[in-house]
């Protein structure tokens, strides 16, 4: 009886040892990190960040304004518009970092995880196939999102969801509280009035002694990492 008890205890110890040294691939995987949601960037530098959405129009006068200003910009372009002329978009300003905006401008809030995942992953992968140096940034159409959006975006490899505090439409500037200030993300659109919007922003930034900077240089640190370079 005593010998049987010793045998049982020895077997239990062996099983425990096996469970404690289980192969690494059987360990629980770390959860995918959720993308960061940013409305504006905390920085002491006198800079703002120009972002342009959609891509339905590619106005030559806006291209000329950006060529003159040499501003760094970040764009959230729909794949069908980007596919028409990727070079036109990537050549704008001093640099144009291109992120995604769903496949067909789908308003995501309250949609199912499957619908949101298809819209976000599809847009992200198509943009990446068209632009070699696209960035893993995403902007939800109309700015509406929910917790499901974050889960879907994370599964697509999105690191950052970028919103805004300032929007510009032609000569009209809308802010959520006071003047444009350092760290603000400014939203404009690729429409016929884009050149007018850019000139309006140029005038306002001169008045406020602010300068556009490259969003990716400041996104995670609030300080500039490197000078913008044209790809």
All structural domains of the chain with their residue ranges: 34-218
* Contact assessment for residue 207 and residue 74, using Cβ atoms and an 8 Å cutoff: no
**What is the distance between the alpha carbons of residues 147 and 135, in angstroms, rounded to a whole number?**
22
Angle subtended at Cα 215 by Cα 210 and Cα 220, rounded to the nearest 5 degrees: 115
Q: Please give the chain's pLDDT, 231 residues, in tens.
A: 444 434 433 443 333 332 333 344 434 456 789 999 999 999 999 999 999 999 999 999 999 999 999 999 999 999 999 999 999 999 999 999 999 999 999 999 999 999 999 999 999 999 999 999 999 999 999 999 999 999 999 999 999 999 999 999 999 999 998 999 999 999 999 999 999 999 999 999 999 999 999 999 999 887 665 443 333
Q: What's the CATH superfamily of 34-218?
A: Glycoside hydrolase/deacetylase (3.20.20.370)
pTM for the structure as a whole: 0.84
**What is the distance between the alpha carbons of residues 174 and 184, in angstroms, rounded to a whole number?**
12
Per DSSP, 147 falls in state H
Per DSSP, 28 falls in state P
Regarding beta strands 172-175 and 166-169, do their DSSP bridges make them parallel or antiparallel, or are they unpaired? antiparallel
């Amino acid at each position: 009886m005593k010998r049987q008890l010793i045998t049982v205890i020895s077997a239990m110890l062996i099983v425990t040892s096996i469970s404690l040294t289980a192969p690494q691939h059987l360990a629980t995987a770390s959860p995918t990190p959720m993308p960061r949601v940013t409305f504006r960037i905390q920085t002491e530098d006198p800079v703002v960040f120009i972002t342009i959405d959609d891509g339905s129009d590619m106005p030559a006068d806006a291209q000329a304004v950006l060529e003159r200003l040499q501003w760094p910009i970040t764009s959230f372009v729909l794949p069908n518009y980007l596919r028409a002329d990727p070079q036109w978009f990537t050549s704008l300003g001093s640099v144009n970092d291109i992120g995604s905006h769903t496949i067909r401008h789908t308003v995501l809030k309250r949609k199912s995880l499957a619908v949101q995942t298809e819209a976000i992953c599809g847009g992200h992968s198509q943009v990446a196939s068209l632009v070699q140096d696209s960035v893993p940034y995403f902007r939800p159409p109309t700015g509406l999102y929910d917790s499901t959006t974050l889960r879907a975006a994370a599964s697509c490899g999105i690191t950052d969801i970028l919103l805004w505090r300032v929007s510009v439409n032609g000569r009209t500037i809308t802010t959520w509280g006071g003047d444009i200030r350092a760290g603000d993300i400014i939203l404009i659109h690729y429409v016929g009035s884009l050149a007018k919007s850019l000139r309006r922003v140029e005038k306002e930034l001169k008045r406020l002694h602010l300068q556009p900077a490259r969003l990716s240089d400041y996104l995670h640190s609030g300080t500039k990492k490197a000078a913008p370079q044209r790809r």
